[in-house]
């Protein structure tokens, strides 16, 4: 079982790198952010408790996220491995995942995408999303062909509630408070932690460095 944890602050490029790793390794990209937003849509949108938590920049309760991830990992396409994007975000979640994997004779490989704080702010405040198909754009690095309109379906792009600047700053503060300790946990547990500076290079170059590091650390093979 190839168990990859993509680690980094909001705006570090985890989603982009997860897509590239999925294409390379043939295992699914599992984004807890996407799953939570889908849950919001199925629970009467902004009226749900999950929506209120996410829009404030706070983290959804561990037990809710752990259960959601377990249900997803139990699906057939994840039997040979998976790439986790946005999970674990707390020490309790990391311990829960480690126990789940150890019970199956597997362990994690952690890829940490490090990005400067000010670059993250610029990236996220420039992000736009199509409300119909979900495609993400960035006004600085991946602008739509026609201003404010989705390239695929012509829908007017929107700013996600969790991408407003006050919420972004709270998300980054939450990351520092709750998620940074997870890296210390993985290092102390002797899990492979691949550090990649993702501040300036193109997504393609960042991926090349990830792939080279995985090959150097022999992380492309099953870890049992």
Residue of 20, 37, 127, 128 marked active site = 127
Q: How far apart are CA 57 and CA 188, in angstroms?
A: 29
- pLDDT (average), residues 171-178: 84
Mean confidence (pLDDT) of the chain: 86
Q: Which is the catalytic residue, given 39, 61, 142, 160?
A: 160
Q: Where are the domains of the chain?
A: 2-216
Q: What does the pLDDT read at residue 59?
A: 66
Q: Please count the other Cβ atoms lying within 10 Å of the Cβ belonging to residue 151.
A: 15
Q: What is the pTM of this model?
A: 0.76
Q: Compute the distance between CA of residue 69 and CA of residue 88 in angstroms, rounded to an integer.
A: 10
- The mean pLDDT value for 109-116 works out to 93
Pairing relationship of beta strands 81-85 and 136-138 according to DSSP bridges = unpaired
Write down the pLDDT at residue 97.
Answer: 95
Question: Rounded to an integer, what distance in angstroms lies between the CA atom of residue 75 and that of residue 73?
Answer: 5
Catalytic residue among 123, 171, 191, 223: 171
Q: Is the pLDDT of residue 223 over 70?
A: no
Which has the higher per-residue pLDDT, 222 or 29?
29
The whole-number pLDDT of residue 58 equals 56
> If pLDDT is split at 50, 70 and 90, which confidence band does 170 have?
confident
Q: How far, in Å, CA of 187 to CA of 139, rounded?
A: 36
Q: Is 160 a catalytic residue?
A: yes
Residue 127 is a catalytic residue: yes
Distance CA 167, CA 11 (A): 13
Percent of the chain with pLDDT over 70: 88
One DSSP character per residue, 5-56 reads EEE--TTSSHHHHHHHHHHHH---EEEHHHHHHHHHHHTTGGGSHHHHHHHH
Give me the pLDDT at residue 55, please. Answer: 55
**Architecture of the 2-216 domain:** 3-Layer(aba) Sandwich (3.40)
What are the φ and ψ backbone dihedral angles of 149, each rounded to 5 degrees?
Answer: -120, 140
Judge whether 191 counts as a catalytic residue. Answer: no
57-67 pLDDT, tens per residue? 556 788 889 99
> Beta-strand (E) ranges in 158-213?
193-197
- pLDDT, position 40: 73
Identify the bridge partners of residue 110 per DSSP, sorted by sequence position: 5, 193
89 as an active site residue: the answer is yes
* pLDDT of amino acid 27: 95
Strands 81-85 and 29-31, by their bridges, are parallel
Locus of tokens 């932690």 = 193
From 28-37, 121-130, 197-206, 213-222, the region with the lowest mean pLDDT: 213-222
**Burial status of residue 221 (CB atoms within 10 A of its CB: 0-12, 13-18, 19 or more):** exposed
For position 222, what pLDDT does the model report?
A: 45
- Count of beta carbons in the 10 Å neighbourhood of residue 98: 19
Determine which helix (DSSP H) or strand (DSSP E) holds 62, and give its type and residue range. helix 62-73
């Amino acid at each position: 079982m190839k168990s990859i944890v993509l680690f980094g602050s909001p705006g570090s490029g985890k989603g982009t790198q997860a897509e590239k790793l999925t294409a390379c390794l043939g295992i699914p990209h599992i984004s807890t952010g996407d799953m939570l937003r889908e849950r919001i849509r199925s629970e009467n949108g902004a009226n749900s408790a999950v929506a209120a938590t996410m829009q404030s920049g706070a983290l959804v309760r561990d037990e809710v996220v752990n259960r959601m991830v377990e249900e997803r990992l139990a699906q057939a396409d994840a039997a040979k491995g998976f790439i986790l994007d946005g999970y674990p975000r707390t020490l309790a979640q990391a311990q829960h995942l480690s126990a789940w994997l150890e019970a199956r004779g597997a362990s994690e490989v952690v890829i940490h995408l490090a990005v400067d704080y000010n670059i993250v702010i610029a990236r996220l405040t420039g992000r736009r999303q199509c409300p119909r198909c979900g495609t993400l754009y960035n006004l600085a690095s991946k602008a739509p062909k026609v201003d404010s309109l989705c390239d695929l379906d012509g829908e007017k792009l929107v700013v996600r509630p969790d991408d407003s600047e006050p919420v972004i700053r709270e998300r980054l503060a939450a990351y520092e408070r709750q998620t940074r300790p997870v890296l210390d946990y993985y290092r102390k547990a002797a899990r492979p932690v691949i550090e990649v500076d993702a501040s300036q290079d193109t997504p393609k170059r960042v991926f090349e460095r990830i792939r080279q590091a995985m090959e150097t650390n022999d992380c492309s093979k099953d870890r049992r």
